[in-house]
Structure 1
Amino acid sequence: MNKRTTTALLAVLATGALALTACSGGGGSSSGSQGDELKGLSGEIGAKDFSEQYILAHITSQLLNAHGADTTANTSVVGSANVRAALEGDDFLGYWEYTGTSWITYNGNTAPVQGEEAQFAATKEADAKNGIAWLDPAPLNNTYAFAILSDKAKKLGVKTLSDIAELPVSEQTFCIESEFSTRDDGWPGLKAAYGLDVPDANVSLLDTGVIYTETAKGDTCNFGEVFQTDGRITSLDLTVMEDDKAFFPVYQGAFTLKQTTLDKYPEIADVLDEVSPLLTTEEMQKLNAQADVDGDDPEDIATDWLTEQGLI
């Protein structure tokens, strides 16, 4: 084989390799094309400021883009109320919300609706009056809970939230988020429901991630506010206290967006129906653990998961 033939062959091989690379979508935000039914749809997919929301925002953005949309995930907004306001103000195309949060925080109800399906139906109906549509929900329930180090739970003999109220006040120590401290479905309501009467000195306000590590240490607090779908519960050997009085509402996750947007692009519902049924509480725990335990990037987690599911 002469030099000219060899050079030509190498050029062909190089071109083929580049083509394969382009088809594989090497970047974290790349999405393999699945159709163009959402062509013309653009905007930002919002997220609250914790890993589950980051992952869901990237999953949603990448999947919509695979069907012709041009969206990006915005994970820079802090606080549930601010994310909701961004949707209402058309700064966000949509974001994943939880039924309990909307029902109580945004729609002004003080008590949850018993039953997952009933809570979703009531929330969807209430938000329809606000011009906000709820797509079919995922099975995941990211409800609030309180957890304690498993060895400490055995030592204190506690299994339920009612058991905590029977402990000496010195053992009733809590780590909670600042937002949880003022919500009707948070600390004020929980204290009333379970008859918890503890001094302010027994309650530490911490960032979400710090709550898990401090609860695992057992020094700052015995009981930490956690989310049911968080992967750190298992990795840190925490035991979740049973909500035996069913105080916490169901926090079933679903994608929310303006009704006007859904009317213009009804295919959004069909596309996201490919994802929602797969997002169980257990599956979300695994995805969250990749971010909060393994330290993986939420965008990469979303890309890998969608690829594994054959959705991009």
Structure 2
Amino acid sequence: MRSHSLRKTVPLRRTAAALAAAALALTAVSGCGSAEAVETASAGDELAGAKFVVGSKDFTENIVLGKIAVQVLKAHGAEIVDKTNLGGTVPNRKALESKAIDMYWDYSGTGWIEHLRNAEPIQDSAEQFKATAAADLAKNGIHWIGPTPLNNTYALAIRSEKAQELGVKTLSDVAELAKTKPEEVTLCIETEFSTRDDGLPGLSKAYGMDIPKNRVSLLDTGVVYTETDKGQTCNFGEVFTTDGRIASLGLTVLEDDKKFFPVYNAAVTLREDTYKKYPALEKVLQPVIDKLDDATMQQLNAKVDVEGQEPGKVSADWLDQQGFLGSKA
């Protein structure tokens, strides 16, 4: 889950090792780059004496999820090194494998397509998660705790009035428009989406959608939403379906009528040796995971991206409301 001038921001994906090293040299920061002070709480001592380094990807939802893990594990007695907002998928996975971090949240579709290099997704969400978790454990020694009900899949969106003007409701409509009125099919996407098999290359192949490079703008995540809403840089933008900005900006999400995009249920990923040493992690995390559905995540994301709240505060407030933090210390 972006100006015909082809203005580009600094690419999101850099060398994995460099990103991980740079991030791990920083003190714990929020998704907005400022330190966050969140009250500690106690909900149990199942993880007393344990110490974990928690990472996250660099977009709002994953940062919020990372903060949720940080706060829940602290509430159950663990000592936490907060390395959320570490970078994209590659830096986090590399950091996990190299033991630079102990866990981060990933998505079943990402695991299946990116980490396990499968070409075709499994459409049933339960089967997709089961297959991803089993294969990643067997091949790579990575354990998945989850999944969440939320499905943060990719989608293309367009401002609603433009969708009505062009008569587009599905991705097949966009592919047809690219043939009949190619000048209307301008696209804003993130750098990572431009290279992933479950991103633009695969989407273009699945729908026979030919979009010249001069009609594709690579932008940071937040800019994709604002530029799609403005309709000057692009008519269509890559979005995440659990993003709160879709509703706040009045964007229309186009139906993936060929069901190209995989299911992306979130889960906490960690090395199997960590899981075996601390099996209480599943007991502590799973009740929280079960509560994270699409509507909840859209609300949490909107509090950060629309209202401007800090991810750590948003996650702590929600956990407290749900009774997951116990008594304040």
Taking structure 1 as the reference length, the TM-score comes to: 0.90
Is 1:287 aligned with 2:268? no
In structure 2, the residue matched to 1:273 is 286
Aligned mate of 1:192, from 205, 212, 231: 205
Is 1:163 aligned with 2:173? yes
Aligned residue identity for 1:134 = W
CA contact (8 A) 1:44 1:71 kept: yes
Aligned mate of 2:103, from 94, 111, 128: 94
CA contact (8 A) 2:59 2:85 kept: no
Query: Secondary structure of 1:138's partner?
Result: coil
In structure 1, the residue matched to 2:262 is 249
Q: How far apart are the structure 1 equivalents of 2:246 and 2:120?
A: 27
Structure 1 residue 29: Cα displacement: 2.8
Unaligned runs of 5+ in 1: 1-26
Aligned mate of 2:232, from 205, 219, 222: 219
In structure 2, the residue matched to 1:138 is 148
Q: How far apart are the structure 2 equivalents of 1:297 and 1:275?
A: 20
In structure 1, the residue matched to 2:79 is 70
Q: 4+ runs of 1 displaced by more than 6 Å?
A: none
Q: How far apart are the structure 1 equivalents of 2:49 and 2:251?
A: 46
Is 1:202 aligned with 2:215? yes
Identity rate, percent? 55
Structure 1 residue 199: Cα displacement: 1.4
CA contact (8 A) 2:146 2:266 kept: no
Unaligned runs of 5+ in 2: 1-35
Query: Secondary structure of 1:270's partner?
Result: helix
Aligned mate of 2:53, from 44, 52, 69: 44
- Computed over aligned residues only, the root mean square deviation of the Cα atoms, in angstroms, reads 1.0
CA contact (8 A) 2:157 2:251 kept: yes
Q: Deviations over 1:249-269 (max 9, x none)?
A: 001101111111111110000
Aligned mate of 1:57, from 61, 66, 69: 66
Structure 1 residue 156: Cα displacement: 0.7
Which one has a bigger Cα radius of gyration? 1
More relative contact order in 1 or in 2 (CA 8 Å, sep 6+)? 2
Aligned residue identity for 2:52 = G
Structure 1 residue 166: Cα displacement: 1.6
In structure 1, the residue matched to 2:243 is 230
Q: How far apart are the structure 2 equivalents of 1:273 and 1:236?
A: 33
Counting matched residue pairs gives 286
Structure 1 residue 154: Cα displacement: 0.7
Structure 1 residue 176: Cα displacement: 0.7
